[in-house]
Structure 1
């Protein structure tokens, strides 16, 4: 040891503009990505990224696959993230995440926000396949996903949620989650879903009509001409705590409730394998 004194600097805090009270730093991130058809293959058209949100592109994938990385490590009160993705005419684009997203404890009165806007142009196929969002005790998260689909576009979306890690004995009581999904085809509403949970999420999940004690759930929407052909095979794959139906022409909707994240994946991954023709992003296997 040299005997030199090492000074560790504390995180910089800035005063709030209204209250004058010092606030810890907040994560802000934005990413925009789009694909195009070049000759007979999909290729990256545009990419913009700033702040705590990055996208990486694995090698060896046939179409454009973007893996989102939240460099701040999670979302807490006051954080703001925005994602925009466009599958250009005739192209294919897959969006996933490096790992499960985490909603951490927030200070009173503060909310983390995530806004996503997806566009699927004529003859294109966009797969929105984020891994689980983990909701922890004390968190406050507001999410909004809007997708605009062309009349003959194809679209696959999954949104898995896990409330605490049951293997570690975690339960989620004092937390809030506001979640909105709005899918439109040629401007006409196709699928609208809303979820408001809190302040005692576990008490709500325990209700028979909500999750009957389950601590994990997922919503899936598949829009494609062959959607109806998948309905019965997928129903045969589902546990008793899940259901699938045709919401509209060429639109398959699925919801799963599970005891924990492991059981959710056990049901969900084979279905995603089927609907992606076994091209599920590698990050789902890690």
Structure 2
């Protein structure tokens, strides 16, 4: 006989992805691919030498108790571009464990990875614990963007109750080069309204760019960014940007030119839809 607890457990979404990219001649191709549960990877028609992959969550979103894990590896000399089919949605959660999302990226020597998922939209009473862990070598190149949207303003949504923990760790040659921690609980709307937090903005993006001579882009980026954005060089080869927006549309208007500049190529087509 199936108990109520077993039924609730069975209804939780699970998903796992593993992908490696390897170089063959001038092109990058799939080395290993594993997908399970509610996570899928799509591979659109090639538009250049990079291997492009688009993540899809067939569960339609994330809620309390869901678990998703992604492991990506760019083997020596390869180029991997990752995006999502649409913005990820974090829905209202029942009392209990948070939704868990863990993304791990490994960049071997002389590789390039463009981590460009679309926004994560958090709804009222959502509960999410998310981690992005990146291990790269100094000879590799990384462009990574993570964007959060707290309710869709065009739909009149607000996020009054939220439990969010979000962390990013970047290691270069085994040493911690960047660590970011975000925790928002209880009344997120009131916290975001504080001047020292977001000044009323309900959309934000963090962009990491690690590459040889990355700091040389700082003057151009400062000219591009709005008053609600900033860029800092943590070293000559690592820069970090933070951008706030009044809503998701305003955020995209600020972020897209920055990503296009740093990417030095067209962004994934999913960003243009």
In structure 2, C-alpha distance between the alignment counterparts of 1:186 and 1:22, rounded to whole Å: 43
SS at match of 2:201: coil
Q: For residue 249 of structure 1, report the CA deviation from its aligned partner.
A: 2.5
Partner residue of 2:206 out of 213, 219, 237: 219
SS at match of 1:198: strand
Alignment of 1:186-197 (within 5 A): 186-197=173-184
* Alignment of 1:27 onto 2:13: yes
* Alignment of 1:202 onto 2:189: yes
Are the equivalent residues in 2 in contact too, given 1:216–1:257 (CA < 8 A)? yes
SS at match of 2:103: strand
TM-score (norm 2): 0.96
SS at match of 1:110: coil
Partner residue of 2:232 out of 228, 231, 245: 245
Q: Which residue of 2 aligns with 1:272?
A: 259
SS at match of 2:89: strand
* Alignment of 1:56 onto 2:42: yes
Q: For residue 15 of structure 1, report the CA deviation from its aligned partner.
A: 3.2
Report which of the two structures shows the higher radius of gyration computed on alpha carbons: 1
Q: Which residue of 2 aligns with 1:15?
A: 4
Q: Which residue of 2 aligns with 1:231?
A: 218
Provide closer, same or farther for how the CA distance between residues 14 and 190 of structure 1 changes in structure 2, counting only shifts above 3 A: farther
Provide closer, same or farther for how the CA distance between residues 228 and 77 of structure 1 changes in structure 2, counting only shifts above 3 A: same
Partner residue of 2:79 out of 78, 92, 96: 92
Tell me how large the CA RMSD over aligned residues is.
1.3
Q: For residue 41 of structure 1, report the CA deviation from its aligned partner.
A: 1.6
Unaligned runs of at least 5 residues, structure 1? 1-12
In structure 1, C-alpha distance between the alignment counterparts of 2:182 and 2:191, rounded to whole Å: 11
Partner residue of 2:246 out of 259, 275, 282: 259
Alignment of 1:4-153 (within 5 A): 15-16=4-5, 22=8, 25-62=11-48, 63-153=50-140
In structure 2, C-alpha distance between the alignment counterparts of 1:201 and 1:149, rounded to whole Å: 34
Unaligned runs of at least 5 residues, structure 2? none
In structure 1, C-alpha distance between the alignment counterparts of 2:206 and 2:9, rounded to whole Å: 35
Partner residue of 1:282 out of 266, 269, 273: 269
Number of matched pairs: 271
| Off by >3 Å, runs of 4+ in structure 1 | 21-24
In structure 1, C-alpha distance between the alignment counterparts of 2:138 and 2:32, rounded to whole Å: 23
